Structure 1
Amino acid sequence: MENTAITLSPSAAARVATIAQKQDKPAILRLSVEGGGCSGFQYKFGLAETPDSEDCVVETDGVRLVVDPVSLDLVNGCVVDYVESLGGAAFRVENPMAAAGCGCGSSFSI
C-alpha cells in the first residue's frame, strides 16, 4: 500500500542505507509502535527483509520506510529523521499527533 502519511528524511535514509550495507541487508527500515515506555507508547526501529502486503511503504533516495497499519494510526503525519547531537545520534520521530513525550524521545502519548 503506497501512502504519503509518513515521511523518511534524507538524513535518515542515508543512515539506513549505511547500516543496511554494513549488515548486508536490504535498505528497508521498519517503524512500529508498541505499548509501554514512560509515556504510554514507544517507537521501535529495525531493518526488514521485505515489506508485508498491508504495510504503508514510502521511499526516500532508494531507501524504504515500512509501517504496519496498526502503528500507522499512531504515527500518521510523522517525519522519521536521523539526528546527531552531543548526546549521541539516533532516529527520531517528529509526531504531530503526540500530546506528550518524554526526555528520551522514544516514548509518547496521544
Structure 2
Amino acid sequence: MSEPDISLSENAARRVAAIAARKDAPAILRLAVDGGGCAGFTYVFELADAPDAEDSVAETDGVKLVVDPASLELVRGSQVDFVEDLGGAAFRVTNPNAQSGCGCGSSFSV
C-alpha cells in the first residue's frame, strides 16, 4: 500500500470540525501553497464548501483535507496537525519536501 498524498491528524480534524460547526459550514479544510513568506512559500488554510474535481482529498474522522494539484506537488507526504503551545494555536504542516523553514512555522523552501 502506498503512502497517502497528504494526511490530517486527529487533533487537526477535531479543530476543523469545531470551527466548521461554529460557522455552520462543511468540515472541509483547504490547504494551498502560495509564493511569499520569509522562506519562499507559505501555507494557506481556509474552509472550503466542497472539494474541486482535481483536488487530492484526505479524510480523518469525517473531516476532509483538500489540496489542489499545484500545491500538492510541494506538500506531498505531509501531515497537517493542530498544535497549541506558548506561541499560540495553529495548524502546522510537517512537510518532508521542505529544505528549510522559518521561525514562524508557516513558510518553507524546497
The TM tier, using the shorter chain, reads over 0.9
Measure how far apart 1:108 and its partner are.
0.1
TM-score (norm 2): 0.97
Alignment match, 1:81: 81
Q: Which runs of 5+ in 1 are unaligned?
A: none
Alignment match, 1:65: 65
Measure how far apart 1:75 and its partner are.
0.1
Measure how far apart 1:48 and its partner are.
0.1
Alignment match, 1:102: 102
Identity of aligned residues (%): 67
Measure how far apart 1:4 and its partner are.
1.9
Alignment match, 2:48: 48
Distance 1:19 1:4 in 2: 25
Counting only pairs closer than 5 Å after superposition, residues 22-37 of structure 1 correspond to structure 2 as 22-37=22-37
Q: Which runs of 4+ in 1 moved over 6 A?
A: none
Distance 2:17 2:41 in 1: 27
Q: Which runs of 5+ in 2 are unaligned?
A: none
Distance 1:93 1:12 in 2: 10
Q: RMSD of the TM alignment (CA)?
A: 0.9
Alignment match, 1:17: 17
Distance 1:102 1:62 in 2: 32
Counting matched residue pairs gives: 108
Distance 1:87 1:101 in 2: 17
